A and B are shown apart, each in its own frame.
Chain A
Amino acid sequence: MADSLQGGSVPPGQQAGWRSWLLLSPLLVWLGLFVLLPTLLLVLTSFSRRDDMGRVIYSFTLDNYLRCFDATWLSIFGSSILYALVATVICVLVGYPAAYTIGRASPKNRRILLTLVMVPFWTSFLIRTYAWISILSQEGLANSLLLSAHMIPTPIGMMYTPFAIVLGLVYNYLPFMILPIYTSVEKLDNSLIEAAYDLGAGPLRAFSSVIIPLTRPGIAAGALLVFVPAIAMYAITTLMGGGSNPTIGEVIQNQFTRARNQPFGAALGVLLMLLFLVTFLLLGRKKSSPHAA
């Protein structure tokens, strides 16, 4: 369905005139200066050496990449992907019902609910993360509430654990999941759901065979928006993970600062970028798979 729409909207063989290029030029300049150029610099650095003080020496070497495939770094890549994956799945599970409810609400309520989703964005994510630290710490809000309610005998160590990392990721990225799904839900054609019921489907069947496939683009977009930044996130993971469960974002940041090894950090960064590319291609393919089936 989507394919046929796209095919019809662009008249074939139309040339972009100079006016369109002019309109595009701010974006192109922006992309060139702030995406293309830095990426080239990153790739260049990743093939370079460094001196004792950490200065980059531009002489070609493959060592940085060879070092990336050491078990140490691969396992960190693995755990970062795992954290991001778990966070994405939880975001879907929590975000989908929320997005569905918002999308099906009356226009007035919809506006209120959407605002409620966005309100946390008005505060810096750092402040929100620090708030979590004071909630989760050993002598924090959560533990003292549970203790005074006699639900736990001794405080639970929640801070500086993988649990805290995933919680921080889910909390900060949930709106990125809700908003795209909401957009898909809002566009849902009611008559298709009614048709499913008319054809004898129960609510579950209608949900799994009609609603989910129709909102899949939203889920895929949300998953991309959560998964990709979550892999590379380092601020939340450092603050809430305490640095003893290092993520790839933290390792890269460390290479550029404390470890004085910019070329190695750059090599890890390039690999991370390739990982994003693969994710993007995979999720992009998923989007069109129901039509193929």
Chain B
Amino acid sequence: MKTIRHLILALLPWALVACGSKPASTTGNSDVPGSQEEKKLNLYCWSEYIPQSVIDDFSKETGIKVSVENYSSNEEMVTKLLAGGGKYDLIQPSEYTVEALIRENQLLPINPAALSNLANISSEFRNMPYDAGNKFSTPYMAGFVGICVNTDKVKTPVKGFTDVFTPNHKGRIVVLDDAREITSWAFATEKLGINDVTPENLEKVKPILKKWLPLVKVYDSDSPKTSLKNGDVDLGVIWSGEAALLYRDDKKFAFVLPSEGSHLFVDNLAIPKMAAHPQNAHLFINYILRPEVSRKISEAFPYYNPNSAARALLTNEEIANPASYPPAQDINRMQTFRDLGKQAAAIDELITQIKAGGK
């Protein structure tokens, strides 16, 4: 959670002082001859997305010490990255943010020669519109945003966003704390393309959002499953991986792809331009691309795994989880977010304002 992250951040300098900086070792781990990097990697990633065990195993194998910092929205990450607040070596932007960062010339090109495991990524994820040819990013995990319903508590059928945001669900809803996401649901309801964000269209969805947001009890992007699990809310619009975890533990949590339409998100690993340890970052990406490692990630965070070699290692039960692997024809229909440029700020503004005045 973000608050824990702040605490960890506060403690980090002390931990670093306590450990002391080790001189760069001379084991040949680099793909660029002649240059050596100190064995460190500063990872800036989503909360609840990379299992600690995977990071620990990587450190054990390579001797590279990984410092982890978390964020809970792409916007938060970009703000910090551009403010130069930290020297990150590896970030985990979603597709539309990759596009924006490429446009702003903030990413280091990926060296394909250093990624021997790249072929494990299934072909449909290898040439996405936001980064044609994967020059700057490598898919980490994909997923959807959908509706999770506690069927013990909600007896009426819930098929789409309009069924979620009804007055009799007031105070029983959790949603992602993400302005772009929330706005896109209203766009889908109005049959507008999720990337057709213009001032006129925003004006069009404003009344819908004004009706919806006061019904919401909890905004949580870090771990929206928690309030569902604790019974504090009965339904919500959340990440598919979170819904998959709920379903795995208790079948009463149904996952529904909204009838108005959903979108596919692809989270990637990318290296910021100012990275101090780009070689270590490549090593980490290549490590993540290993089937058995990626499989472990799927186990902890059951999103839609773009790594086909890893998917082959999953159990039937994991593949059958409707939140992780919905029917292919549904996925094919989905759009992905594109970078909005100027309009991104307008969305933030709109949601912040409605949220604040919604009560």
Contact = CB atoms under 8 A, between A and B. Distances in A.
A291 interface: no
A293 interface: no
Nearest to B101: A53
Interface in A120-153: 124, 126, 133-134, 137-140
Contacts of A54: 75, 78-79, 82, 345
A260 B359 contact: no
B83 to A, nearest CB: 8
Interface string A28-70: 0000000000000000000000101111000000000000000
B231 A138 contact: yes
B279 interface: no
Contact of B348 (A133, A134, A259): A259
A139 B80 CA distance: 37
Interface in B173-189: 177-179
Interface string A153-176: 001010110000000000000000
Interface string B216-244: 11111000000100111000000000000
Contacts of A245: 359
B352 interface: yes
A138 B83 CA distance: 40
Contacts of A19: none
Contacts of A50: 345
Contacts of A211: none
Contacts of B359: 244-245
A137 B220 contact: no
Contact of A257 (B4, B75, B100, B218): B75
A126 B177 contact: no
Given A258-B177, A261-B348, A242 B219 contact: yes
Contacts of B231: 137-139, 155
A72 B357 contact: yes
Interface residues of B, number: 42
Nearest to B346: A52
Contacts of A138: 230-232
B243 to A, nearest CB: 19
B344 interface: yes
A176 to B, nearest CB: 19
A259 B350 CA distance: 10
B73 A137 contact: no
Given A72-B353, A73-B356, A52 B232 contact: no
Given A71-B357, A73-B356, A159-B232, A243 B177 contact: yes
A260 B357 contact: no
Given A244-B359, A257-B79, A258-B75, A52 B345 contact: yes
A246 interface: yes
Contacts of A124: 7
Contacts of B104: 53
B353 to A, nearest CB: 6
Interface in B1-43: 1, 3-4, 6-7
B248 interface: no
Contacts of A75: 356-357
B171 A157 contact: yes
B355 A160 contact: no
A75 B218 CA distance: 20
A131 to B, nearest CB: 13
B191 interface: no
Contacts of A117: none
A257 B352 CA distance: 12
A258 B232 contact: no
A2 to B, nearest CB: 38
Contacts of A52: 341-342, 344-345
A260 B217 contact: no
Contacts of A280: none
A244 B79 contact: no
B352 A244 contact: no
A255 B349 CA distance: 9
A75 B358 CA distance: 11
Given A73-B356, A76-B356, A244-B359, A159 B230 contact: yes
Given A140-B230, A159-B232, A260 B348 contact: yes
Nearest to B80: A257
Given A54-B82, A157-B171, A243 B3 contact: no
A93 interface: no
A251 B352 contact: yes
A262 interface: yes
A258 B100 contact: no
Contacts of B352: 251, 254-255, 259
B124 interface: no
Interface of A: 50, 52-55, 71-73, 75-76, 124, 126, 133-134, 137-140, 155, 157, 159-160, 235, 238-239, 242-246, 251, 254-262
28 contacts: A52-B342, A54-B75, A54-B345, A75-B356, A126-B4, A137-B231, A137-B232, A138-B232, A139-B231, A140-B230, A155-B231, A157-B232, A159-B230, A159-B232, A160-B217, A235-B6, A243-B355, A244-B355, A244-B358, A244-B359, A246-B355, A251-B352, A257-B71, A257-B75, A259-B349, A260-B348, A261-B345, A262-B79
Interface of B: 1, 3-4, 6-7, 71, 73, 75-76, 78-80, 82-83, 100, 104, 171, 177-179, 216-220, 227, 230-232, 341-342, 344-345, 348-349, 352-353, 355-359
Given A243-B220, A260-B348, 12 more contacts: A71-B357, A76-B356, A155-B231, A239-B3, A242-B218, A242-B219, A243-B218, A244-B358, A251-B356, A258-B73, A260-B344, A261-B345
